[in-house]
């Protein structure tokens, strides 16, 4: 069956079979394209979904506190709190603890900065 040919009623089973074959070949390509591109839409969470998504499984009350003190990125839809997955992922990643070597290196850099300021005054 040629792709641009208009099938007759008798040719419909062959046309459907051809379409299914084409789809099977295209689907893996499209899946990879969606995974690697910005076509993939960001996901919105309500509070219950956020609690389920949180690796630490903090309570709703904890998240209400974070919202109140603006410690977590959030949006409001009317009176309902909603959270953007990409913002939550960034927020979670920002909470990573530094290694001792990283803390020591930062402290040394900060001390060197402070000493430079003292010398230039």
Domain ranges within the chain, ordered by starting residue: 1-40, 44-94
% of the chain with per-residue pLDDT over 70:
92
pLDDT at position 39 is 53
What mean pLDDT comes out for the span 47-75? 94
Residue 119 has pLDDT above 80, yes or no: no
> CB-side exposure of 118: number of CA atoms within 13 Å?
6
Between residues 63 and 120, which one has the greater pLDDT? 63
Residue 89 banded pLDDT, cuts 50, 70, 90: very high
Q: Is the pLDDT of residue 30 over 90?
A: no
48-78: string of b/e by CB count within 10 Å (b at 16+)? eebeeeeeeeeeeeebeeebeeeebebeeee
Considering 3-17, 58-72, 90-104, the range whose residues carry the highest mean pLDDT is 58-72
Q: Say which residue, 76 or 39, is predicted with more confidence.
A: 76
Range in 12-26, 27-41, 53-67 the model is least confident about: 27-41
pLDDT for the residue 49: 96
0.75 surpassed by pTM: no
58 pLDDT exceeds 60?
Answer: yes
3-state secondary structure of 16: helix
pLDDT given at position 121: 62
- Do residues 47 and 59 make contact, with C-beta atoms less than 8 angstroms apart? no
Cβ–Cβ < 8 Å for 45, 88: yes
């Amino acid at each position: 069956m040629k792709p641009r040919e208009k099938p007759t009623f008798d040719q419909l089973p062959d046309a459907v079979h051809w379409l299914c074959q084409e789809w099977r070949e295209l689907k893996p390509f499209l899946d990879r394209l969606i995974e690697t591109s910005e076509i993939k839409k960001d996901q919105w969470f309500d509070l219950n979904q956020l609690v389920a998504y949180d690796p630490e499984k903090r309570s709703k009350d904890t998240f209400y506190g974070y919202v109140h003190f603006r410690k977590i990125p959030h949006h409001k839809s009317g009176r309902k709190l909603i959270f953007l997955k990409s913002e939550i992922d960034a927020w979670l990643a920002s909470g990573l603890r530094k290694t001792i070597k990283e803390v020591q290196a930062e402290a040394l850099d900060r001390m060197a900065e402070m000493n430079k300021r003292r010398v230039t005054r």
